[in-house]
Amino acid sequence: LEINTNKSGAEIAPTMYGIFFEDINYGADGGLYGELVKNRSFEFPQPLMGWNTIGGVEVRNDGPFSRCPHYVRLSYSGKRDMSTGIENRGFLGMSLLGGEEYRFTVWARVPGDAQAQLNVGLRDLDSQEESFTVCDTNINVCGSEWRKYAVVLTPPHTIKKASLTVFLKGNTPVDVEHVSLFPVNTWRGHENGLRKDLAQLVADLRPGVMRFPGGCIVEGATLNTRYNWKNSIGPVENRPLNETRWNYGKERTHFDYYQSYGLGFFEFFQFCEEIGAEPLPVLSCGMACQFNNDITTKGSWIAQGDSLNEFIQDAIDLIEFCNGDPEKNEWAKIRAEMGHPEPFNLKYLAIGNEQWGEWYAPMLKAFMKPIRKLYPQIKIIGSSGPWPDGKEYDYLWPEMRKAGVDFVDEHFYKDEDFFLSGASRYDNFPRKGPKVYAGEYACHGKGKKWNRFYSAICEAAFMTGLERNADVVKMATYAPLFAHINGWQWRPDMIWFDNLRSVRTSSYYVQQLFSVNRGTHVLPISVSGNTDKIYASAVADKDDKNAVIVKVVNTGEKDIPVSINLKGMNCESSMLTTVLSASESQPLGNVNYGSDKVHSILDCDNSLDNPERIIPHTAESKVMCPH
Ligand code: AHR
C-alpha cells in the first residue's frame, strides 16, 4: 500500500460514522430505556397485560392523566386470608443487580380521603426461601388527591428472575397509577433515564450522528401508529401508548410490543448532546409502512389532500421544539419546561423512511417548500427507496436529485457480494447534487442471516469505500443497533443484550474502529500486488498531530503480508496497530440465540456467554526506516 501523506484530499465529515436507533428487537422499552415495569400505566389494549393480580383489583379509566386514563383500584379482597395486590414481571422478565438501588414510584390516592398503606416489594422468583420477597417497604398514602410517592429498594443479591409487587395493607382502598421501577444508577443519573451499560456501549462508539427513532416505526403499520414525536414529550405519565410496527406483520414474534414513549424525543436529543452526536430525527412523510399495507392504490395508508398538512406541521414544530425560542414558541416552551432552555441545535431532518412508488417524491416536496422557506439552514434528507417489486434499492435517486434534497438515505441489507463490490460503489458517483447518507446497512450473509465475523469483515471492506469517497459520503449508520436475545424480530444487529448483560458483536468493533479512527482528511492510497482480497483506505488526522491512520481489511481466509509505504512521513514516528481478529481456541457455540449451526469462526460471533471470541488487539510497533 502506498500512501502519500503530503497530499490530503477531501475533508471527512464529523458525522461520517454514526448510529441508527430504532425500537425494534425491544431496543427501547425493555432495552435502552431504563424502566423495568411493563405496562406501567395500564394502557395496553388489555389494561392488565403484564400484571398478575390477586384479590380486589379493579381497572378504572378516569385517572389524573388524560392521555393515559387507566389506573387500578386496590380494595379489600372480601376474604380474610386473601390479600389484594399486583405483580409485574418486566418486559422479557425482570432482573436486578444485588446492592444496586432501584427507585420505585407510583401515583396514588385514597378515594375515601383517609389514610392507607401500600407494601412494595422485590421478589426473587427462583428463591428457595420461605418467602420470595427479598426487600420491601411500606408507603403511607394520604388523601383523595393524586400524589406521586417514591421509595428506593436495594435487593441484597443479584436476581435473574425478579418481580415487583404492590400489596394493599389493611382494608382501606387505594388507587394506583403509573407504577414505575428504575435503576437509580442510570446513564448520567437521569430519573427517566437509560440503562447504563447499553448507553455506555453506544457512547463508546463515539458516533458523529445519531438517527432516531427508526426505521419502519417512523412510518407505523398505520398512519395512526406512526411514531408521533409530539406524544413522546412532556411528563412521562401523560405520554400515550403506541403500538409499534414491530408488533405487526408476518415477522411478529411477540404480542405485547408497545411503545410507552418514555424514551421520547427530548431524551433522544439529550442523549445525542451527551455523547457528542448530531441528532438526525426521521419523521413520517405521511405514508404508513409500505411493507405492511396494500399499496397498489391510494388508501388509508397515505395522507391525502389537506390531511398531509398535519404531518408537515409536525416537521415545522419539531424544528421549533429543537431550535426555537421558549418565549415565542409553544413547542420550544415545552423543551425549556423539560429542563433544556438552550436549543438542541438541530441541523438535519429526514422526511420519510423507506418509501417507494410514485407518491413519495411529491409528498416530500410538499414538506420541503415550507421548511426551505422558514429554515433554510436545515439539511433535508430524502430516501432512495428500498428494493421491492424487483426495483433496485436506489431507484429514487433521480427523483431526489430533482427534488433538490441535501442528502439521500440509502439502505443496504445485502449479501457479501454486494458489500465487497460496494466498496467501489462511490468511486465514480456523481460529485454534484445530494450527498450520500448510508442510513441503514448490514451484511446479511447468503443463507446466513445472523451476526458473523465474515459479514463484519465485508462491512469493513465496504466502509473503506465510504471513507475513500468522503467528499460524497457524509454519513453512515449500521442498522439495527440493539437486540434483546429473547425478543428479536430482526438480525444481524450490532449489540445483543439480556436483562443484565450485553455483548459487542464483531460488527460493533468494525464500526468502532472506523469511528474512533475517523480522521479529518482522506489520503490518496494505491494498492499493488496480490490485491484481490485486500481493501484499504487512509486518512490524516489533523486534530491529532497529523497522525496517519490506515485501515486494511483482509477478506480472504489466509494471512497476507502487507507493506505500507507512507510517503512523506517522518521515519522516527511511532505506530500503533489494532487488529480485529478471532481467537480460534474459543468454542463456536450457536449464534444470536437462534438454532443455526456454526462450523467455522468466520460464521460465528461473540455471544453473551462468550463475549471475547472476536476482539481488537492493539500493540505498539516501530516504523521501519527505508535504507
Ligand atoms: O432496520 C430494520 C428495518 O429495516 C427498518 O425498520 C427499516 O427501515 C428497514 O426495512
**Cα 572 to middle of ligand 1, angstroms:** 48
One domain for residues 487 and 446: yes
Residue nearest atom 3 of ligand 1, based on CA coordinates: 215
* 313 in any annotated domain: no
CATH number at residue 226: 3.20.20.80
Whole-angstrom Cα distance, residue 290 to residue 262? Answer: 26
Identify the weakest region by mean pLDDT among 69-78, 254-263, 346-355: 254-263
* Candidate from 410, 440, 478, 481 with most ligand 1 atoms within 8 A of CB, to mutate: 440
Q: Is 487 in the pocket of ligand 1 (CB under 6 A)?
A: no
- Average pLDDT value for the chain: 93
* Domain closes at, from 471, 489, 518: 518
* 42 in any annotated domain: no
- Rg for the chain (alpha carbons), in Å? 26
Ligand 1 atom closest to 440 (CA): 1
Whole-angstrom Cα distance, residue 156 to residue 137? Answer: 14
**Cα 375 to middle of ligand 1, angstroms:** 29
* Candidate from 354, 393, 477 with most ligand 1 atoms within 8 A of CB, to mutate: 354
Question: What mean pLDDT is predicted for residues 277-304?
Answer: 91
If one compares 405 and 620, the residue with the highest pLDDT of the two is 405
* Domain closes at, from 487, 518, 549: 518
Question: What mean pLDDT is predicted for residues 36-42?
Answer: 98
Band (544; pLDDT cuts 50, 70, 90): confident
* Single-letter amino acid code for the residue at 26: Y
Q: Is 479 in the pocket of ligand 1 (CB under 6 A)?
A: yes
The predicted pLDDT at position 292 comes to: 83
Ligand 1 atom closest to 218 (CA): 6
* 473 in any annotated domain: yes
* 333 in any annotated domain: no
Question: What mean pLDDT is predicted for residues 401-405?
Answer: 97
Q: What residues form DSSP beta bridges with 175? A: 73, 109
**Cα 318 to middle of ligand 1, angstroms:** 23
Phi/psi at 100 (5° precision): -85, 150
Q: Is 363 in the pocket of ligand 1 (CB under 6 A)?
A: no
Whole-angstrom Cα distance, residue 364 to residue 383? Answer: 9
Q: Is 440 in the pocket of ligand 1 (CB under 6 A)?
A: yes
The predicted pLDDT at position 585 comes to: 73
Band (591; pLDDT cuts 50, 70, 90): low
* 332 in any annotated domain: no
Whole-angstrom Cα distance, residue 135 to residue 367? Answer: 54
**Cα 590 to middle of ligand 1, angstroms:** 25
**Cα 303 to middle of ligand 1, angstroms:** 21
Question: What mean pLDDT is predicted for residues 353-381?
Answer: 95
The predicted pLDDT at position 389 comes to: 55
**Cα 17 to middle of ligand 1, angstroms:** 18
One domain for residues 588 and 504: no
Q: Is 24 in the pocket of ligand 1 (CB under 6 A)?
A: yes
Ligand 1 atom closest to 20 (CA): 1
**Cα 480 to middle of ligand 1, angstroms:** 7
One domain for residues 286 and 370: yes
The predicted pLDDT at position 127 comes to: 94
If we measure between CA atoms, which residue out of 326, 250, 351, 234 comes closest to residue 291?
A: 250
One domain for residues 62 and 140: yes
Residue nearest atom 8 of ligand 1, based on CA coordinates: 215
One domain for residues 506 and 556: no
One domain for residues 534 and 564: yes
Stated pTM of the model: 0.96
* Domain closes at, from 183, 214, 234: 183
Q: Is 214 in the pocket of ligand 1 (CB under 6 A)?
A: yes
Q: Is 216 in the pocket of ligand 1 (CB under 6 A)?
A: yes
Q: Is 490 in the pocket of ligand 1 (CB under 6 A)?
A: yes
Identify the weakest region by mean pLDDT among 178-182, 203-207, 374-378, 542-546: 542-546
Whole-angstrom Cα distance, residue 501 to residue 474? Answer: 33
C-alpha separations of 277 from 208, 269, 381, 475 in Å: 5, 9, 17, 12
One domain for residues 171 and 232: no
Residue 597 has pLDDT above 90, yes or no: no
Residue nearest atom 5 of ligand 1, based on CA coordinates: 215
Residue nearest atom 1 of ligand 1, based on CA coordinates: 480
Ligand 1 atom closest to 354 (CA): 8
Question: What mean pLDDT is predicted for residues 349-356?
Answer: 94
Band (390; pLDDT cuts 50, 70, 90): low
Residue nearest atom 4 of ligand 1, based on CA coordinates: 215
Q: Is 399 in the pocket of ligand 1 (CB under 6 A)?
A: no
Q: Is 353 in the pocket of ligand 1 (CB under 6 A)?
A: yes
The predicted pLDDT at position 356 comes to: 83
Band (385; pLDDT cuts 50, 70, 90): confident
Residue 257 has pLDDT above 80, yes or no: yes
Whole-angstrom Cα distance, residue 75 to residue 170? Answer: 9
Torsion angle in degrees (nearest 10) through CA of 302, 306, 310, 315: 80
One domain for residues 548 and 467: no
One domain for residues 353 and 262: yes
Q: Is 354 in the pocket of ligand 1 (CB under 6 A)?
A: yes
* 308 in any annotated domain: no
Sign, Cα dihedral of 450, 451, 454, 458: positive
Band (233; pLDDT cuts 50, 70, 90): very high
If one compares 599 and 538, the residue with the highest pLDDT of the two is 538
* 311 in any annotated domain: no
The predicted pLDDT at position 584 comes to: 73
For residue range 134-147, list pLDDT tens digits in order: 999 999 999 999 99
The predicted pLDDT at position 358 comes to: 86
Residue 625 has pLDDT above 70, yes or no: no
Total number of domains constituting the chain: 3
Instruction: Enumerate the active-site residues.
Output: 354
One domain for residues 56 and 191: no
Ligand 1 atom closest to 245 (CA): 6
* 389 in any annotated domain: yes
**Cα 359 to middle of ligand 1, angstroms:** 20
One domain for residues 169 and 114: yes
**Cα 215 to middle of ligand 1, angstroms:** 5
Residue 594 has pLDDT above 70, yes or no: no
| Cell numbers that stand for 606 in this block | 461473540
| Cell numbers that stand for 250 in this block | 408476518
One domain for residues 475 and 541: no
Whole-angstrom Cα distance, residue 76 to residue 268? Answer: 43
CATH number at residue 144: 2.60.120.260
Q: Is 350 in the pocket of ligand 1 (CB under 6 A)?
A: no
C-alpha separations of 514 from 509, 536, 603 in Å: 9, 12, 22
Band (592; pLDDT cuts 50, 70, 90): low
Question: What mean pLDDT is predicted for residues 590-597?
Answer: 64
Whole-angstrom Cα distance, residue 123 to residue 135? Answer: 7
Question: What mean pLDDT is predicted for residues 387-411?
Answer: 84
Containing structural domain, residue 547: 2-10+524-622
Residue whose grid cell is 468466520: 602
